[in-house]
Amino acid sequence: MIWNINKETMDREQMRVLQGKRLQKLVTYVYHNLPFYRNKMQEIGITPADIHGIDDIINLPFTTKQDLRDNYPYGLVSAPHSQIVRIHASSGTTGNPTICAYTRHDLTVWQESVSRCLGAFGLTREDTMSVAYGYGLFTGGLGLHYGVENYGATVVPASTGNTEKHIRLIRDLGITAIACTPSYALYLSETMRKMGITRSELKLHIAALGAEPWTENMRQEIQEQLGVKAYNIYGLSEICGPGVSYECECQNGSHIVEDHFYPEIINPITCEPMGYGEKGELVFTTLTKDGMPLLRYRTKDLTSLINEPCPCGRTSVRMTPIMGRSDDMLIIRGINVFPSQVESVILSMKEFEPYYMITVDRVNNLDTIEVQVEVRDGYYSDDINEMICLKKKLQNHLKSVLSIKAEIKLVEPNSIERAQGKAKHVNDKRKL
Ligand code: DLL
């Protein structure tokens, strides 16, 4: 079902005109309301009067995650606090998280975007969707939740964890759709097998999967194991959360909600614009946000754009699956983790040397993370209890920073290989 026939099937030229108008309004707004953007624009000698249409976007400055961190917490919030109704946060590289502030209007746009996704996934108001993304600062849970309510289907806010109880609920309530990370979908099917529950006992037929990269092989396996059609949903907190793009029944790239989020591809090194079909870094401009609008936000996600008609009838530009990142961010069970966050925790504890190795793997379809670290001379001991205490201390500290539990392996001083050149701190064994 096409949720918003007017916008999703809009004539390309009309769409560009609409985007151009929205861009002009946005640039005028940020110029007058955000010193950050006014300064950036003045530095390069551009004013709102220089923006005549969407093609002029390439003259505007970029925004990076570092800019968000430097302006923590509210430096990029343009609306008065009385108009901000929700705040989410995602991890920064180290230290400050990235704050995302929403006005009521922003939440409406977000719900609208998620509703377009659900329409494309074939949901109806008869469906019941279990949302098994985390509820909280992460945008996955609440983003999908309010989207489903707006759509008029039934939502079950399962959140993450307690998988066996969740599976029983899926069976007993006749839940027909699930939203979760692709790795959690696989874990779910594995837990079902252990519980002796078969897919024929469930009514599931739609899965809305995202928050981490996944492959065509994973799709086949999830579809087979759970008896669903599995659709990609993409998004990032800084832009709104889930719902920035979505697959339709053709499953040939994800349609971008481009009347609200304007996409570009740039060369991640030179920042030069790249053409359709060329692989580069995805950049978004939030054309209609007023809580925390962003000009040319560099997502660091590597992909390419498709500007060809889709057999589903939607005319929007599509993006191919994310092929990697231009930074070192890891996504572990849907949670963004920067190696530098691990490093800063280790460096802040006197018991450890600054030598560590992060190993990421996928065991029984669930991501695992192990941090191997050298204990400093004088703190290394043969007393097992002392070492267990030290392990726990590091584990708790990491958990409070990363929001996930890492396995810790303590090793003797001088046992981690020293780098000759650039130190390698991550061994990602997952086959993606
Ligand atoms: O992951 C929002 C989201 C929640 C999307 C639920 C989809 C479903 P962040 O925590 O800010 O937001 O992480 C954003 O996750 O830049 C990508 O690197 C990655 N990512 C998100 N969706 C996909 C996807 C949410 N479908 C970062 N495929 C993004 C690949 C994805 N990577």
Who's near 291: CB < 8 A, 6+ residues apart? 77, 78, 79, 83, 84, 101, 102, 103, 105, 106
pLDDT in tens, the chain (432 residues): 999 999 999 999 999 999 999 999 999 999 999 999 999 999 999 999 999 999 999 999 999 999 999 999 999 999 999 999 999 998 766 667 899 999 999 999 999 999 999 999 999 999 999 999 999 999 999 999 999 999 999 999 999 989 999 999 999 999 999 999 998 998 899 999 999 999 999 999 999 999 998 888 889 999 999 999 999 999 999 999 999 999 999 999 999 999 999 999 999 999 999 999 999 999 999 999 999 999 999 999 999 999 999 999 999 999 999 988 888 899 998 888 988 889 889 989 999 998 899 999 998 888 999 999 999 999 999 999 999 999 999 999 999 988 889 999 999 988 988 766 667 889 999 876
DSSP 419: P
Q: Which amino acid is at 314?
A: R
Q: Does residue 242 have its Cβ closer than 6 Å to ligand 1?
A: yes
Question: Given this model, what pLDDT does residue 108 score?
Answer: 98
Q: Does residue 341 have its Cβ closer than 6 Å to ligand 1?
A: no
Query: Which residues pair with residue 211 across a beta bridge?
Result: none
What is the position in ligand 1's atom list of the atom closest to the CA of 254?
26
Residues 162-169: contacts with CB within 8 Å, 24+ apart? Answer: 163/187, 163/188, 163/191, 164/191, 164/195, 166/130, 166/132, 167/191, 167/192, 167/195, 167/197, 169/130
Q: How far away, in angstroms, is 149 Cα from ligand 1 center?
A: 21
Burial class (CB in 10 A: 0-12, 13-18, 19+), 49: exposed
Q: Which amino acid is at 274?
A: M
Q: Does residue 265 have its Cβ closer than 6 Å to ligand 1?
A: no
Question: Given this model, what pLDDT does residue 314 score?
Answer: 98
Q: Does residue 139 have its Cβ closer than 6 Å to ligand 1?
A: yes
Question: Given this model, what pLDDT does residue 94 score?
Answer: 64
Quickly tell me which residue has 């090793």 as its tokens.
Answer: 411
Q: How far away, in angstroms, is 211 Cα from ligand 1 center?
A: 3
Q: Does residue 184 have its Cβ closer than 6 Å to ligand 1?
A: no
Q: Using CA atoms, how far apart are residues 240 and 247, in angstroms rounded to an integer?
A: 18
Q: Does residue 299 have its Cβ closer than 6 Å to ligand 1?
A: yes
Q: Does residue 212 have its Cβ closer than 6 Å to ligand 1?
A: yes
Q: Does residue 236 have its Cβ closer than 6 Å to ligand 1?
A: yes
Burial class (CB in 10 A: 0-12, 13-18, 19+), 177: buried
Q: Which of 27, 32, 66 is nearest to 288 (CA)?
A: 27
Domains by residue range for the chain, with CATH: 1-325 (3.40.50.12780), 330-428 (3.30.300.30)
Q: Using CA atoms, how far apart are residues 252 and 320, in angstroms rounded to an integer?
A: 8
**Ligand 1 pocket test target in 87, 121, 139, 231 with most atoms within 8 Å of CB:** 139
Residue nearest to atom 20 of ligand 1 (CA): 211
Residue nearest to atom 18 of ligand 1 (CA): 301
What is the position in ligand 1's atom list of the atom closest to the CA of 208?
8
Query: Other CB atoms closer than 10 Å to residue 21's CB: what's the count?
Result: 13
Q: Is the dihedral of CA 216, 93, 302, 296 positive or negative?
A: positive
Angle at which helix 139-151 crosses helix 104-120, to 10 degrees, equals 70
Q: Using CA atoms, how far apart are residues 123 and 126, in angstroms rounded to an integer?
A: 8
pTM score, whole prediction: 0.90
**Ligand 1 pocket test target in 131, 331, 404, 432 with most atoms within 8 Å of CB:** 331
